[in-house]
Structure 1
Amino acid sequence: MIIAETRDIVTCLALRRTVFIEEQGVSEADELDDLDQAATHLLATLDGRPVGCARLLTDGGTGKIGRVCVLAEARGTGLGAALIRAAIGHFAAGGQVDVVKLGAQTHALAFYEKLGFSAYGPIYDDAGIPHRDMALTL
């Protein structure tokens, strides 16, 4: 598996469409926004095929990991954890971020906790899916 920064937003959007819109039933209006052009995108490939991605944004000293998705066929392979570790590494290497945040679907809280994130605040609805905010101090 290879995880690298990419400018291929079209491929990332196609992965997100498959996972979020087609699989999870998120509306296109909720999935698409105007932040993709300003973001750093990580693309995960397995045997040369795109299978996952994440979108990274920075706001002052806070890094935000979002739009994390892995195709069903690649789940359970460790790729998702590697994608999150790469995102954390990206923020740590930049030297300007001291906390990394994300909004986790509640079924994935334990996954992110194993990677060092802590949940805070109440459960909230995002695009019809229960979420909770999480943070990791660098």
Structure 2
Amino acid sequence: MSPEPVAYAVRVVEDPADREACFAVRKEVFVVEQGVPEDLEYDAYDAVAVHVLAVRDDGVPLGAGRLLFGEAAAGKTGGAPGVGSLGRLAVVRAARGLGVGVALVRAVEGAARARGLTAVDLGAQTHATGFYERLGYVAYGAEFLDAGIPHRAMRRSL
């Protein structure tokens, strides 16, 4: 059975309240639900990332993600020129199956295009590789652990 449709919007974060809403979503999904230690979930890249936020029409946060680019992305993309890094994509349990994750990925890709990037890399939890494959991402390299969770590197040309 599909969840009831919910009206929501996705936007690039431009104020501290939206940024805190992104962090709250990440805490709910990664720290509480998946057991990722908080000191691993939040990092110095948060200060320079482009954050995206999905919110219901009544303002309740549904999901978040971030884009790293330039020097901040170099460690994640192997220094490949023109490649950004999508990360910290999280959708709260109640909003899964509503298309929020797809909308967040597309918003990150739009932010990447706006910055002149030609591809986006990500580290997908292995259970989510099919989701990203449906969005045009291709896995490469060996499986690796991030916060004790199996991941695969993936990339999509824009």
Provide TM-score, normalisation by structure 2: 0.83
One of 37, 60, 77 as aligned partner of 1:27 = 37
Q: 1:35 is paired with a residue of what secondary structure? A: helix
SS at match of 1:76: coil
* 1:1-138 mapped onto 2 (5 Å cutoff): 1-6=8-13, 7=15, 8-47=18-57, 48-59=59-70, 60-94=81-115, 96-138=116-158
Greater strand content: 1
What TM-score do the two structures reach when normalised by structure 1?
0.95
CA distance in structure 1 between the partners assigned to 2:114 and 2:46 by the alignment: 21
Task: Give CA deviations for 1:11-65 in whole Å, capped at 9, x if unaligned.
Answer: 1111111100000000112111111111111000123211100011102411111
Shift of 1:93: 2.7
Separation in 1, partners of 2:39, 2:111: 28
Structure 1's consecutive aligned runs of 4 or more residues displaced over 4 angstroms after TM superposition are none
Distance in 2, matches of 1:93 and 1:12, equals: 21
User: Highest Rg: 1 or 2?
Assistant: 2
Question: 1:46 & 1:128 partners in 2: Cα distance?
Answer: 32
Give the conservation status (yes or no) of the 8 Å contact 1:100–1:137.
Answer: yes
Q: Give the whole-Å Cα distance in 1 for the aligned partners of 2:28 and 2:145.
A: 21
Say which is worse superposed, 107-116 or 52-61, in terms of deviation: 52-61
Q: What one-letter code is carried by the residue in structure 2 that aligns with 1:37?
A: A
Distance, in Å, in 2 between the alignment partners of 1:35 and 1:87 is 15
The percent of aligned pairs where both chains have the same amino acid is 48
Cα distance in 1 between the residues matched to 2:114 and 2:24:
28
Instruction: Return the alpha-carbon distance in structure 1 between the equivalents of residues 99 and 25 of structure 2.
Output: 18
CA distance in 2, matches of 1:128, 1:69: 17
Root mean square deviation, CA, Å: 1.0
Runs of 5+ in structure 1 lacking a partner? none
What are the ranges of 5 or more consecutive residues in structure 2 without an aligned counterpart?
1-7, 71-80
What is the letter of the counterpart of residue 58 of structure 1? Answer: F
Deviation at 1:115, TM superposition (A): 0.4
